[in-house]
C-alpha cells in the first residue's frame, strides 16, 4: 500500500511558519524542527499533532484549515 502525503501548515501559536508535505501532522512538525537544527532528543511530543521545543509549541494542521 502506498503512503499518502498531504500538505500541512506548521504553526507556532497562530502564526504559520512552514508548509510541509507529510503522511501525518506529527511527521510534518518533526520534519520542520529537524530542518532548523533541532535534535530528536530536544523534541517532546505533547499531543497527536503537537511537539514542544525550547518552550514553544509547534503544531501541524491540514493546509486548507482556516486560522
- Residue 38 within any structural domain of the chain: yes
- Residue 56 within any structural domain of the chain: yes
Q: What is the pTM of this model?
A: 0.85
- Residue 39 within any structural domain of the chain: yes
User: Could you read off the pLDDT tens digit of each residue along the chain, which spans 67 residues?
Assistant: 667 899 999 999 999 999 999 999 999 999 999 999 999 999 999 988 899 999 999 999 999 866 5
- Residue 34 within any structural domain of the chain: yes
Q: Which long-range contacts (CB under 8 A, 24 or more apart) does 60-63 make?
A: 60/8, 60/9, 60/10, 60/11, 60/20, 60/22, 60/25, 60/26, 60/28, 60/29, 60/32, 61/8, 61/9, 61/11, 61/25, 62/6, 62/7, 62/8, 62/9, 63/6, 63/7, 63/8, 63/9, 63/19
- Residue 1 within any structural domain of the chain: no
Which range marks the domain in which residue 43 is found? 7-62
- Residue 17 within any structural domain of the chain: yes
Q: How many domains does the chain have?
A: 1
- Residue 41 within any structural domain of the chain: yes
Amino acid at each position: 500500500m502506498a503512503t499518502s502525503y498531504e500538505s500541512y501548515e506548521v504553526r507556532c501559536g497562530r502564526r504559520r511558519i512552514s508548509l510541509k508535505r507529510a503522511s501525518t501532522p506529527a511527521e510534518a512538525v518533526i520534519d520542520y524542527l529537524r530542518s532548523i537544527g533541532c535534535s530528536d532528543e530536544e523534541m517532546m511530543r505533547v499531543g497527536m499533532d503537537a511537539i514542544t521545543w525550547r518552550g514553544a509549541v509547534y503544531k501541524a494542521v491540514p493546509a486548507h484549515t482556516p486560522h
